[in-house]
Amino acid sequence: MVRFLVRRTLSGLLVLWLISMAVFALFFITPSNVARTIAGRQATPEIIAAVNRRLGLDQPLWKQYLSFVNKALHGDLGYDFYHQVSVAHIIGQALPITVSLAVGASIIWLALGVFNGVMSAVHPRSFLDRALTAVSLFFFSIPSFLLGLVLLYFLYFRLTVAGYTWFPAGGYAPLSAGLGPWLNHLILPWFTLALISAAVYTRLTRGSMLDILSEDYIKTARSKGLSERRVVYRHGLRSALTPVVTQFGIDLGQLVGGVIITETVFSLPGLGKTSYDAITQQDLPVIIGIVLFAATAVIVANILVDVAYALLDPRVRMH
Amino acid sequence: MTMTTTAAPVTETPARIEGRSPWLLAWRRLRRDRVAMVSLAIIVVIFLVAVFAPVVAALTGHPPNEQYRQTGLTPDGLPRPPSGTFLFGTDDLGRDILVRVAYGARVSLGVGVVATLLTVVVGVVIGVAAGFLGGWVDTVLARLIDVVLSLPFLLTAIALVSLSGPSLTLTVLVIGFFSWSSVARIVRGQVLSIKEREYVEAARSLGAGDLRIMAVDVLPNVLAPVIVYTTLLIPVVISVQASLSFLGLGIEPPTADWGGMIAESRNYYQTSWWFMFLPGMALVFTTLVFNLLGDGVRDAFDPRVDRLIRK
């Protein structure tokens, strides 16, 4: 187990290094107009050169990269081009919002998805199964930006017009402002993310549960006289969860990118929206900081998935 | 690979022996799947709408980018609701939404099909090469697959697209660049088991080279999962393309495209529901029928699922 963790961590670091180089290279393939934007319209070439010097953009690419890596290894991700705020601070500001969004949404989608999937699989071909399959297929087919807008239309706009101001149009309220406002601002974004993912998990759980329920050891469990509930939840669900855990690992890692759209639709200033803004302004230190942070999340999530396998399925522990 | 019907006892007319390839069997199962066939028919219709979008424009008399500032906007300058002149209503610039939805189908289906094909071709080639050749080729390619899979997809896609401005070609390339890795991983896994089979050994003992074995013996046997994956990838690609357009990174205005239209409608959803809902419904409907067809194709290639449920 220790050797496995060490090997995975090393290969994760290799991947991070490749990604950092890729982002750096990409940024410099296209001409940058950061200095021009900062210096303003009237700027003379001298001023632009001065701005470039201040930001370190006049150095050769390899020197900039080495200086970035050197600082990053000392825990310093640099400062953003426009307001000289440290990237670590920017990520620190945005992170709680994205974490609130991601944690809440993933709890909802896991609960909904696994429960619906089990319900479908226990009564295959029933009305409930068909209805759940149809509903999940619908949510599976709707892009998140559209679902977000539709929720806003009915649950914010239509309700407000009807005199029920239950949900805000967007924005974020930190937990320090109280549990109520925090929940209130997050419910619609949570469901936007969760309903779509829940559809994936319903289908996944259903398929894997159907496979497992036809295995011999389930028959054994039944013939021992165990209650159906015990057979389904203790013996069936536990093994059926393996593909769900895989998918959850992948999704968790991809969330930093995935929340971009939800955060944009609901004006939540989390990592997704921050990175989107940074990208449109070519704010390299912020982009690279968030991309590396997000990639780290993917890698850590993958390692955790493998650990979770071992815990769920004793057979994996041998390898 | 082929199955033959048991010959009847010898009589005057010998029983017809019919070869049924797995493809034929899958197609027969698919043809019996009513939902899948209806979806297929609807997809054909959507393709026709896309191809004949200029006809829609000619029938209504409204070119897709023509702004009807007098007839297409209310005195307050707001979009007009659906009416006899504008069946789907108008957008914020007084353009005919029906015609733009028809033209938008071209972008969605075009990107959906082209990007998916690109993804699948690259993914299959890399997957077969990695799985079959093994050794250092496999090590390098597997590491590459890992790198691409650890990139936060949308984030990097946005970064790539924003660098050179919105363009359709770039959208296709970006989607292809990110999606091949999952195809490659599936194919590589399949190839690893296929290359141990006797028929591969047989081909090699007959003197076939690596390239020939990969193309003739390995490739046809990985195609079934690839076809299933392809059908289910198209709606995902359509959705991603729409999302990029929604963020203003997909296509250059004024070209009509569903994601872009929905983005433009954001400031008008309180006054003009049709502006957001009609392109939105076109988008959801299209991805939905592709998903329904994809489900059917998967069941057709894997009848085991069906048997499991029936018992």
Show contacts of A66-69: CB within 8 Å, 24+ apart. Answer: A68/A20, A68/A24, A68/A288, A69/A20
Q: Are A82 and A74 in contact (CB under 8 A)?
A: no
Q: What does the block give as tokens for B25?
A: 């069997």
Cβ distance A146 to B163 less than 8 Å, yes or no, reads: no
Q: What does the block give as tokens for B270?
A: 């309180």
The b/e string for B255-284 (b: 16+ C-beta within 10 A; e otherwise) is bbbbbbbbbbbeebbeebbbbbbbbbbbbb
Q: What secondary structure does DSSP assign to B194-247, as a single string?
A: HTTSHHHHHHHHTT--HHHIIIIIIHHHHHHHHHHHHHHHHHHHHHHHHHHHHT
Q: Output the pLDDT for position A146.
A: 93
User: Which of A58, A31, A20, A289 shows the shortest CA–CA distance to B165?
Assistant: A31
Q: Output the pLDDT for position B310.
A: 45
Which range among A46-60, A188-202, B76-90 has the greatest average pLDDT? A188-202
By C-alpha distance, the chain A residue nearest B278 is A146
A61/A22 Cα distance (integer angstroms): 12
Query: Could you read off the pLDDT of A91-128 as tens digits, one per residue?
Result: 989 999 998 999 999 999 999 999 999 998 888 888 99
CA distance A138 to chain B (A): 7
Q: Output the pLDDT for position B75.
A: 82
Cβ distance A264 to B247 less than 8 Å, yes or no, reads: yes
Q: Output the pLDDT for position A54.
A: 74
- Adjacent-strand bridge partners of B73: B79
Which of A14, A29, A32, A149 to substitute to test the interface with B, most B CBs within 10 Å?
A149
A95/A269 Cα distance (integer angstroms): 9
φ, ψ for residue B71 (rounded to 5)?
Answer: -80, -25
Q: Output the pLDDT for position B11.
A: 53
A80/A96 Cα distance (integer angstroms): 20
When pLDDT is cut at 50, 70 and 90, the band that residue A28 belongs to is: low
A255: Cβ–Cβ under 8 A, 6 or more apart, which residues? A98, A102, A106, A297
Which of B33, B35, B46, B151 to substitute to test the interface with A, most A CBs within 10 Å?
B151
Single-letter code of the amino acid located at A62: W
CA-based end-to-end distance of chain A: 9
CA distance B212 to chain A (A): 34
Lowest mean pLDDT among A48-57, A268-277, B45-54, B108-117: A48-57
B191/B129 Cα distance (integer angstroms): 9
B238/B258 Cα distance (integer angstroms): 10
**Per-residue DSSP letter, A318:** G
User: Which of B63, B78, B85 shows the shortest CA–CA distance to B256?
Assistant: B63
Query: Could you read off the pLDDT of A140-178 as tens digits, one per residue?
Result: 899 999 999 999 999 888 888 888 888 888 888 888 888
When pLDDT is cut at 50, 70 and 90, the band that residue A319 belongs to is: very low
**A12 contacts in chain B (CB < 8 Å):** 150
The region that residue B122 occupies, defined by phi over 0 for left and psi between -120 and 50 for alpha, beta otherwise, is: alpha
Q: Vertex A144, ends A142 and A145: CA angle to 5°?
A: 110
Which range among A268-282, A284-298, B49-63, B100-114 has the greatest average pLDDT? B100-114
Enumerate residue ranges in chain B where pLDDT < 50. Answer: 1-2, 8, 307-311
A139/A150 Cα distance (integer angstroms): 12
Max Cα–Cα distance, chain A, nearest Å? 86
B305/A209 Cα distance (integer angstroms): 11
User: Which of A51, A57, A105, A152 shows the shortest CA–CA distance to A251?
Assistant: A105
In Å, how far are B5, B31, B38, B43, B301 from B24, measured between CA atoms? Answer: 14, 10, 20, 22, 10
- Adjacent-strand bridge partners of B79: B73
Q: Output the pLDDT for position A18.
A: 80
Q: What does the block give as tokens for B186?
A: 């599936």
The secondary structure of chain A in percent helix, strand, coil, rounded to multiples of 5, reads 80, 0, 20
Cβ distance A27 to B163 less than 8 Å, yes or no, reads: yes
Cβ distance B160 to A26 less than 8 Å, yes or no, reads: yes
Q: Are A144 and A193 in contact (CB under 8 A)?
A: yes
Q: Output the pLDDT for position A191.
A: 93
Query: Above 80 in pLDDT, residue A221?
Result: yes
Position of tokens 């198209």? Answer: B234
**A278 contacts in chain B (CB < 8 Å):** none
When pLDDT is cut at 50, 70 and 90, the band that residue A225 belongs to is: confident
- % of chain A surpassing 70 pLDDT: 92
Q: Is A79 strand, coil or helix? A: strand
When pLDDT is cut at 50, 70 and 90, the band that residue A31 belongs to is: low
Cβ distance A295 to B151 less than 8 Å, yes or no, reads: yes
Q: What is the ipTM of this complex?
A: 0.83
Query: Could you read off the pLDDT of B222-278 as tens digits, one per residue?
Result: 888 888 888 889 999 999 999 988 888 877 778 889 999 998 888 888 888 888 899
Residues in chain A: 319
* Crossing angle for the helix pair A284-312 and A2-29, to the nearest 10 degrees: 150
Residue ranges of alpha helices (H) inside A144-178 are 144-151, 159-161
Position of tokens 């303003």? Answer: A40
A110/A248 Cα distance (integer angstroms): 9
φ, ψ for residue B58 (rounded to 5)?
Answer: -70, -40
Q: How many CA atoms lie within 13 A of A256 on its CB side?
A: 29
Instruction: Confirm or reject contact between A25 and chain B (CB < 8 A).
Output: no
Q: Which helix (H) or strand (E) element contains residue A205?
A: helix A179-213
pTM: 0.83
Which of B156, B170, B277 to substitute to test the interface with A, most A CBs within 10 Å?
B156
Cβ distance A143 to B287 less than 8 Å, yes or no, reads: yes
Cis ω before B22 (30° cut-off from 0) = no
**A14 contacts in chain B (CB < 8 Å):** 143
Q: What does the block give as tokens for B226?
A: 């690839």
Q: Output the pLDDT for position B1.
A: 45
Q: Is A86 strand, coil or helix? A: strand
Could you say which residues from 240 to 299 on chain A have a Cβ atom under 8 Å away from some Cβ of chain B? 253-254, 256-258, 260-261, 264, 272, 275-276, 279-280, 282, 287, 290-291, 294-295, 297-299
Q: Output the pLDDT for position B199.
A: 87
Give the residue-averaged pLDDT of A59-70: 78
